[in-house]
Amino acid sequence: MAGNDWINSYLEAILDVGPPLDDAKSSLLLRERGRFSPTRYFVEEVITGFDETDLHRSWVRASSIRNSQERNTRLENMCWRIWNLARKKKQLEAEEAQRTAKRRVEREKARREATADMSDLSEGEKEVSPHGGGTRGKIPRVSSVDAMENWARKQKEKKLYIVLISLHGLIRGENMELGRDSDTGGQVKYVVELARALGAMPGVYRVDLLTRQVSASDVDWSYGEPTEMLNPINSEDDIQETGESSGAYIIRIPFGPKDKYIPKELLWPYIPEFVDGALTHIIQMSKVLGEQIGGGEPVWPTAIHGHYADAGNSAALLSGALNVPMLFTGHSLGRDKLEQLLKQGRQSRDEINDTYKIMRRIEAEEISLDASEVVITSTRQEIEEQWRLYDGFDVVLERKLRARLKRKVSCYGRSMPRMVVIPPGMEFHHIVPHDADMDGEAEENEDNLATLDPPIWSEIMRFFTNPRKPMILALARPDPKKNILTLVKAFGECKLLRELANLTLIMGNRDAIDEMSSTNASVLLSILKMIDKYDLYGHVAYPKHHKQSEVPDIYRLAAKTKGVFINAAFIEPFGLTLIEAAAHGLPMVATKNGGPVDIHRVLDNGLLVDPHDQQSIADALLKLVAEKQLWGRCRQKGLKNIHLFSWPEHCKTYLSRVASCKPRKPQWQKNDNRFDKSEPDSPSDSLRDIQDLSLNLKMSLDGEKMEGSGTFSSALNYVRNAYDGKSRLENAQNAGSLEKADHNFSKSVTLRRRKFLVVIAVDCDMTSDYLDIIKVIVEAARPEKDAGSIGLTLSTASSITDILSLLESGGLSPMDFDAFICNSGSELYYPSSISEDSPSALPILSDSDYSSHIDYRWGGEGLRKTLVRWAASVNDKEGVKGGQVVVEDKLGSTNHCYAFKIQNPALAPPVKEVQKLMRIQALRCHVIYCQNGTRMHFIPVLASRSQALRYLYVRWSVDLSKMVVLIGESGDTDYEGLLGGVHKTVILKGVCSGAHKLYANRNYPLEHVLLSDSPNLVESEGCNSSNIRASLEKLGVL
């Protein structure tokens, strides 16, 4: 395009536009009203909607080219780039608006249905605050030291064991490398200090902070240490009794690549491996604590607390495996981040998902909502603006459910986690404001200004021409969302502010800009260019390095100069640095978006600003720096109220929330410790030889005696005839009579002594192929010489009656197996010997303890009625003439599994939509498509086939690393749970390959959670005995 020199001035006008568009002067840049204005269009639609860093950098490079023709060509291309970005942004906004509207309609419909079920709502329910009651804006306070001591005396007799989990980043107790990377930030500091503070609280015996063990060459050796004790800061004042294993510890669990430090987005495939390792640690520690303080009985965790999505997912699995309460803190939430990224318009939803694995993160947060009893947030904004975006939480419905619980009336199977606001705490005992600072009037002794000063002071003051001017301090990573560019621009364009104050930017640690991430490097370069543009040399400090231990000294320096702390982030989830600054006597200027609003309401020690308004930022800073009386009042208010954010106060509120959870722990109806001391009687014995009344070794249905010869066939017929859709077997385990076991059942539990346990988890419908697969695996896995050392377990979506019938038709005996995991993991059975003189004996027995173990938040009849309505709506919407899509399978349903037949899989809704519907209605369950999409199961939220294997470990000490799971190329929608973990896996190529279609409509691609390479995973070509045996030999089983 010839003669396009106008582009240079055109872009310059866009990038250098100063006053707001509604200012009178802005009319100089615009055409008359009613006509198209390119400048206004790009300023409003592009510059304010995108991260302009890249655009500005491209413009600077292009405009600096000497060759006018090349320069104009590049500038023209940049114009087209801007136009394309704007068009793309509009498209993404339209798509997101449609999704938002659909979500709103779905939520309103679900809320109406839930309200209709709970039609006996009263006006009293409207009086309950959606955030836990109490006066809005008030934070519970410790009224006096005596009150805390009284509370401490009441708690002293308790001996709590609390487990915290934080997986990503580099975590250690001392010299934390905060800012080293995006994963090692404020969350790391928070969880370490929380663990340390809880460990020093009365009534808390031990706190374990579980994280990842990293032994990579590019990180410090300390991150590879398996255990690190966190020394209490004020140990000399510790009033609680200590024991051999008491206190707070960092426990590093090895999982993922052993010699590589990887970002959190790549940790998802290794979550099951962490869960198995953490489970081993917790079981071992519970036994140790049992010997010390439990009178020989294991001391299980009082609660497991997950931090961030990855740890929340892990905590949910551990909570289910151990049947203990779970707490969750999101820190930052995936749906909120997704919305922010979509608003930028730089990436599509698919591109964002590929980069951040955002949909897997969101699903983990939804799972955390399903499993958590309490969700701890830092601010109300997090509840009202962020958690409301999730299917599993609704403020209105949560209020109604909590009111019903308070009135002790039925919630019809619905449940919602309790959202509570507990601001993070801080240690203040080591902070002693100087007397000269307390009154805000005393002058510094100039002769002693640099005497005995911390080294970081000189590192900062060397940047300044006049280091005695008040310091404006910002402490944040060079991240676009921290809005440091706007702060520097506000400082640079306000001449009076530059004359009165200096600006200090503590932006993490760096060696070379080229080694930083592209985003952080881009922001830092833009800051340096802005400093040069406004000639701020001598006015702005930006040191390259600082230690975490030097941060308090930096606050002290700013306070000495009567400075101001600023956090101008676009959105700040909480703002812990604001509390730290206030504790050192610094007034604050903070963003009005997010947590700082709550902090300001309590401390009242500064001003709130619009982070997008540059002039507002400059005016607030100037006001505090120039008006010394205002500065002094803000300082005094901050120091007066800061104790409300102390760690003891935080932990007191925290422990009260833990105490409000219904106590849960692994509970067996009979102590099994005697089995540990028993001797093996025969290597072929299995779990069927258990003498344990809790397993109902001999059952009679409703007290009746079976007719027949007592053979396996007659027993099976009796079971089949008695099966009425609600599992008479389960009714028998709850209400049937128990007969005392004779001496033939006094043998020990030899399942524990199996060298290996082969789990057949191939997902096929009940066809002859399935029976053939079972026969081949049995033949391959149990050669004659190893028959006693290798056990067999069948894990399937089928019911126990279907399995028994299948085995009978193929000439197999239930006695060939050690256990049966049925109905997608909602039931667990063991084979039972049939005594010739006891015709009432059945070939299997049900583990009633497992049924109790998975009962958490099971919706029961309320869930079933909702599912029947859902099936009817699907049939009305998708049904074809003369047929139905989804039909309730009453005969296939049990107390903990509601089954539905899919008669037309092509029209059936995807599993993610069904799971979403259940969550919106506050019905917590696990939705599974199974048997090649011909059936759908709804089971308890913490039940699954993989969780059943962990139960065998917790209950019977079956080593997870000695389990070998055989699966097909694909399977049911719970297939991914069987792939990860410390167990060994054999994938049978060519088996169940048609089930891939079940994953087409998942929330996230299966590739995001699959292991690319693992020594515990091998593939077997086809399902034949020789290949399977070769795979088992490769894994060291045979």
* 3-state SS, residue 988: strand
Give dist(CA 814, CA 781) in Å, integer.
Answer: 16
SS3 88: helix
> In 3D, which of 467, 415, 353, 380 has the Cα closest to residue 132?
380
pLDDT value of position 82: 65
Q: Which of 149-153, 203-207, 782-786 has the lowest mean pLDDT?
A: 149-153
Give the pLDDT band of residue 571 (cuts 50, 70, 90).
Answer: confident
pLDDT for residue 726 is more than 70: no
Give 207's strand partners: 162, 248
Nearest to 860 by CA among 412, 293, 453: 412
Confidence category of residue 62, pLDDT binned at 50, 70, 90? low
Instruction: Specify burial of residue 30 (Cβ count, 10 A radius: 0-12, 13-18, 19+).
Output: middle
**pLDDT for 705:** 37
* Least confident piece of the model among 32-46, 205-219, 831-845: 32-46
pLDDT at 782: 77
Better-scored residue on pLDDT, 549 or 886: 886
Q: Where do the H-state alpha helices sit in 794-937? A: 800-809, 848-853, 860-878, 911-920
Q: Which of 781, 688, 693 lies closest to 737 in space, CA to CA?
A: 693
pLDDT greater than 60 at residue 512:
yes
In the predicted model, is pLDDT for residue 52 greater than 60? no
pLDDT score, position 385: 85
Dist. CA 567–CA 493, nearest whole Å:
19
Phi, psi (rounded to 5 degrees) for 753: -100, 5
Q: Are the C-beta atoms of 739 and 945 separated by less than 8 Å?
A: no
CA dist., res. 862 & res. 473, Å (int): 56
Query: What is the predicted pLDDT for the residue at 154?
Result: 63
Calpha distance 592→380 (Å, rounded)? 13
Among the residue ranges 572-586, 663-677, 795-809, 859-873, the one predicted with the least confidence is 663-677
Quote the pLDDT of residue 899. Answer: 96
For position 81, what pLDDT does the model report?
66
The tens digit of pLDDT for each residue in 397-419 reads: 898 898 888 888 888 889 999 99
Return the closest-CA partner of residue 484 out of 570, 563, 550: 570
Average pLDDT over residues 751-768: 81
Q: Starting at the edge strand that comes first in sequence, how are the strands of the sheet with 963-968 ordered?
A: 844-846, 827-831, 819-822, 790-795, 756-760, 963-968, 984-989, 1017-1021
pLDDT number for residue 441: 42
Q: What are phi and psi of 377, to 5 degrees?
A: -120, 165
Q: Are strands 699-700 and 564-567 parallel, antiparallel or unpaired?
A: unpaired
Mean pLDDT of 902-924: 90
Whether 743 shows a pLDDT value over 50: the answer reads no
**pLDDT tens readout for residues 974-983:** 888 898 899 9
Cβ 310 vs Cβ 268: under 8 Å: yes
932 vs 944: CA distance, rounded Å: 17
How far apart (Å, rounded) are the C-alpha atoms in residues 446 and 909? 75
Please name the residues in contact with 100: beta carbons below 8 A apart, sequence gap of 6 or more. Answer: none
Q: Report the phi/psi class of residue 823: left, alpha or beta, with left for phi > 0 and alpha for psi in -120 to 50.
A: left
Handedness of CA 116, 119, 122, 125 (dihedral sign): negative
Strands 418-421 and 540-541: unpaired
Give the lowest-confidence range in 465-479, 504-518, 642-656, 705-719: 705-719
pLDDT for 436 beyond 50: no
The answer to whether the CB of 742 falls within 8 A of the CB of 837 is no
Categorize the per-residue pLDDT at 870 as very low, low, confident or very high, splitting at 50, 70 and 90. very high
Mean per-residue pLDDT over the chain, rounded? 79
Query: For helices 712-722 and 728-735, what crossing angle results, to 10°?
Result: 90
Query: What does the alpha-carbon distance between residue 828 and residue 821 come to, in Å, rounded to a whole number?
Result: 5
Whether residue 632 has pLDDT greater than 90: yes
Return the pLDDT at 67.
72
Provide the edge-to-edge strand list for the sheet that holds 606-609: 540-541, 502-506, 471-475, 564-567, 588-591, 606-609
Rounded mean pLDDT of 55-83? Answer: 66
What average pLDDT does the segment 998-1019 reach?
A: 78
- Name 490's Cβ contacts closer than 8 Å, sequence gap at least 6: 497, 614, 615, 617, 618, 621
Give the pLDDT score at 884.
86
For residues 981 and 276, the answer to whether their CB atoms sit within 8 Å is: yes
Taking the CA of residue 147 as centre, how many other CA atoms within 13 Å lie in the half-sphere pointing to its CB? 8
Is pLDDT at 188 greater than 70 in this prediction? yes
Closest CA to 413 of 154, 677, 117, 102: 117
The predicted model gives 545-552 an average pLDDT of: 88
The total of other beta-carbon atoms located within 10 Å of residue 480's CB is 17
Dist. CA 922–CA 828, nearest whole Å = 27
- Is there a contact between 56 and 15 (Cβ–Cβ < 8 Å)? yes
pLDDT at 100: 78
Neighbours of 120 (CB within 10 A): 9
| Secondary structure (DSSP) of 540-598 | EE--S---GGGHHHHHHHHHHTT-EEEE--S-BS--HHHHHHHHTT--EEEESSBTHHH
pLDDT recorded at residue 21? 40
The pLDDT > 90 percentage for the chain reads 45
Q: For residue 467, is pLDDT > 80?
A: yes
Output the pLDDT for position 519: 80
Beta bridge partners of 967: 987
Q: Pick 568 or 142 by higher pLDDT.
A: 568
State the pLDDT at residue 996.
59
Phi, psi of 339 (to 5 degrees): -65, -40
Query: Which segment of 453-467, 602-616, 666-680 scores lowest on mean pLDDT?
Result: 666-680
387-396 tens-digit pLDDT? 999 999 998 8
pLDDT bracket for residue 99 (50, 70, 90): confident
Q: Tally Cβ neighbours within 10 Å of residue 965.
A: 25
How far lies 873's CA from each of 80, 582, 867, in Å?
49, 57, 10
- Helix 186-199 with 576-583: angle, nearest 10 deg: 60
CB 316 within 8 A of CB 367: yes
- State the pairing for strand pair 502-506/588-591: unpaired
Q: What is the pLDDT of residue 409?
A: 87
Token couple for 1014: 């693992």
Residue 251 confidence (pLDDT): 97
- Count of beta carbons in the 10 Å neighbourhood of residue 1026: 11
Burial class, 326, CB count within 10 angstroms (exposed 0-12 / middle 13-18 / buried 19+): buried
Task: Assign 85 a pLDDT band (cuts: 50, 70, 90).
Answer: low
Q: What is the pLDDT of residue 713?
A: 53
Question: Which range, of 359-373, 759-773, 993-1007, averages the lowest pLDDT?
Answer: 993-1007
Query: Positive or negative, the Cα torsion across 48, 52, 58, 59?
Result: positive
% of the chain exceeding 70 in pLDDT: 74
Of residues 1010 and 316, which shows the higher confidence score? 316
Helix ranges (H only) for 423-550 are 435-438, 455-461, 484-493, 495-500, 518-533
pLDDT band at residue 728 under the 50/70/90 scheme: very low
The answer to whether 485 and 525 have CB atoms below 8 angstroms apart is no
